[in-house]
A and B are shown apart, each in its own frame.
Chain A
Amino acid sequence: MKNKILINWLLLLAICSFIPLSSGFAQAGHWYGAATYQVSFPTGDTKDFISDPSWRGFGLDFRYTVKKNVTVGFVTGWNIFYEQVTGTTQLETDPPGAITAQTNRYINFVPIMLNTHYYFGKRGDIRPYAGLSAGGYYVNQELQMGIATFINDGWEWGVAPELGVIIPVQRGLGIIIAGKYNYLFTKNTVFQGTQLEKDLTNGYWGIQVGVAWQSY
């Protein structure tokens, strides 16, 4: 069910992602799009919950040239972290204890962010770039243990600095390779109202590979 909700989100985002383009038909400048496959590596509290890298992720980026070497735009995507952990966890509760179980752990990140990028080099060359995204993430975190499922979802704010390169293949089409660090600075409270309540600061590195094209 949760997956269906996320897919509905995704479709809604896809539809929304075209709205600024449609309204920008009469504007000057160029829109560029980028679609990327993403591999992500958890850090900090995210890594404490799921240590495995995520092999399931994609991103969709639209950038509008406002100056020769500068774009502004927005980005969205979906990164799925998953790990199955079997073992004993010590509980620092009152009274203290321990719990042993097979757990299935999930975190879904859906970033919806505005961004700006600066490009080095000349048009037509290989163009390294640096950028920064700022905005929000829809975060859905789930812990399945025994027959119980604990779900925590909500909106978190964050920033994502990025370094990348666009390699032109032919006119209006290129390959994009980038690395991005996603830092969610608002805390995600899990197990609210229980003795296990904890504030998590999520974060992850992402490696992105995909295609970039001139939208119009």
Chain B
Amino acid sequence: MKKTTIKMFLRKNLIVLLFLSATVVVLQGCYPYDDRTVSNSDVVATFYESGTNFSALVTYFMPDSVFEIDSNGDIVPADINSSYAQQILTSTNNNLEEMGYQMAANLNAADVVVEALVTSSTWVSGGCYGGYYSYWYPYYGWCYPVAYTYTTGTILLVMSVPETNNFSTVWVAGINGILGSTTSSTTSRINKDIDQAFNQSPYLRGSK
């Protein structure tokens, strides 16, 4: 039998090496990396207490402030841009009324209390800038380490039924997204996302 050398073998399988090299380059080039931006980072989640008779909940009371939870765990008026706060309250009121709820004069006259809370968090994330190759020390190779810092904002809308010494939560909406740099876009996203929270919660309407 003819002796096969490694050189002969590699020559015969040159196509494999070329194919592999090309494939790695092509797949790296066309890998579907995510294109997350500030505006498409928004997430709107809603949950409700099953078994709640929303038809029986007609009147609502909503404080005229937006709140936050401080470091002690207390609920206090939020320190945010007043136009954002007003936008949150207005949009929530509009949606509640559109769903048939009527604003009550005070807490005692309300079937439910709706509160708006906000919070923000700053995140640091790491990653690789893959298109970079350092010729100088330290030689990063394929991965040039980079750090990203971004701030996310969350709006919580909480609907509760007042009880004797407590409140029973029947609906919660959580809206989260990366905070943008312009007031107009942030306002637009607040409106859009609060509308979406109610749109995906049709049961709130009940038979109203």
* Residues of A that sit less than 8 Å from B by CB: 1, 3-4, 7, 10-11, 14, 17-18, 21-22, 25, 28, 33, 35, 56, 58, 60, 78, 80, 82, 86, 88, 91, 93-102, 104, 106, 144-148, 211, 213-216
Contacts and interface: CB of A to CB of B under 8 A. Distances in A.
Interface stretch (B27-35, B66-74, B101-109, B183-191): B27-35
Max chain A C-beta neighbours (<10 A), residue from B15, B23, B178: B23
Contact of A100 (B23, B43, B130, B178): B43
B9 A4 contact: no
18 contacts: A1-B128, A4-B142, A4-B143, A7-B28, A14-B20, A60-B16, A80-B31, A95-B48, A95-B50, A97-B46, A101-B42, A101-B44, A104-B32, A104-B34, A144-B34, A146-B177, A147-B178, A211-B15
B15 A35 contact: yes
Max chain B C-beta neighbours (<10 A), residue from A10, A56, A100, A144: A100
Given A96-B50, A146-B42, A22 B19 contact: no
Interface of B: 1, 4, 6, 8-9, 12-13, 15-16, 19-20, 23-24, 27-28, 30-36, 40-50, 123, 127-128, 130, 142-143, 150, 152, 176-178, 196, 200-201
Given A96-B48, A101-B44, A211-B15, 4 more contacts: A7-B28, A33-B13, A80-B31, A98-B45
A56 B27 CA distance: 7
Given A98-B46, A100-B43, A106-B32, A215 B20 contact: no
Contacts of A22: 6, 9
A21 to B, nearest CB: 7
Given A99-B44, A146-B42, A215 B12 contact: yes
A80 B19 CA distance: 17
